[in-house]
Amino acid sequence: MESEYIVEMKNITKRFPGITANENVTLKIKKGEILALLGENGAGKSTLMSMLFGMYEPDEGEIYVRGKREVISSPNFASRLNIGMVHQHFKLVSDYTITENIILGIEPRKYLLGFIPVVNKKEASEKIAGISEKYGLKVNPEQIIETADVSVRQRVEILKMLYREAEILIFDEPTAVLTPQEIQFLMKILKGLREDGKTIILITHKLEEIKQVADRCAVLCRGKLTGIFNVSEISTSQMAKLMVGREVNFTPPKKPSDFKECILKVDHLTVKNETGFEVVNDVSFQIRQGEIFAIAGVSGNGQIELADA
């Protein structure tokens, strides 16, 4: 009888010098579900999934894929098992086109004069266009990655997995670099992938996103699995408590502020990067003595350049 679990990680332990990243973790993932892997930074989420993707090998424990024990020695081997991963920091070649990035390493070939091999980019672009249309991942296959924004780059990483016919899709903190509108678009994509029969593992520490899309939630705390729950049966406050090992106050006490005079004034600041592109455009603000001033924004929107200036 076929197991309902497409992936089983049994008693997995992984150590690095001075730290145990995962300790005796057993995790079973059902075919066709969205499983959220929840935990604080450093809880061992990415390490655990990196072993499923072949970037590390466990020190102890076993991994079963579709009921068969596998030693996943490399990402290439994981790809052959139809496992794909979108990393938190995208792994794309900036001066290549979207098509070239997607087919890199598995280029389709045709032969001129019957024996001269050349890469068949036209065929690849047509296949990529078909996949992107099917899943609502709109991209221009000829666009150079350097000119693409963050959400397009993420779509390229997803298309890379789908082009390789991945069935088990791992997303490592996929919303960390996205705007709220882009996050909603990604949530819709994840639901569409699940409806198509894909199995999705979502590494995150964002509780509302788990509530929105995940079927089950596995919680890691300091490298240990503290439980697996049906998302419909657990509250965000319960998830937070399991994640950090104590009660979490979502509205911390805050005294009224007592601000003094203005000590920094920025007036109509524009900053260009080394390529001449305006990364900060006409920004003005004032900071008062005794004030904590927050600059919010998705990664790559000019915060660092503003601070440097």
Whole-number Å distance between alpha carbons of 8 and 92: 30
Are 37 and 100 contained in the same domain?
Answer: no
* Count: domains in the chain: 3
Question: Which of 24-28, 35-39, 187-191, 245-249 bottoms out in mean pLDDT, i.e. has the lowest?
Answer: 245-249
Whether residue 30 has pLDDT greater than 90 = yes
Are 191 and 146 contained in the same domain?
Answer: no
* Residue 51 placed within a domain: yes
* Residue 160 placed within a domain: no
What does the pLDDT look like over 66-118, one tens digit per residue?
999 999 999 999 999 999 999 888 888 888 888 888 888 766 666 565 666 66
Q: pTM for the whole thing?
A: 0.78
Domain that holds residue 276: 262-308
Whether residue 252 has pLDDT greater than 70 = yes
Question: Which of 93-97, 123-127, 144-148 bottoms out in mean pLDDT, i.e. has the lowest?
Answer: 123-127
Are 134 and 267 contained in the same domain?
Answer: no
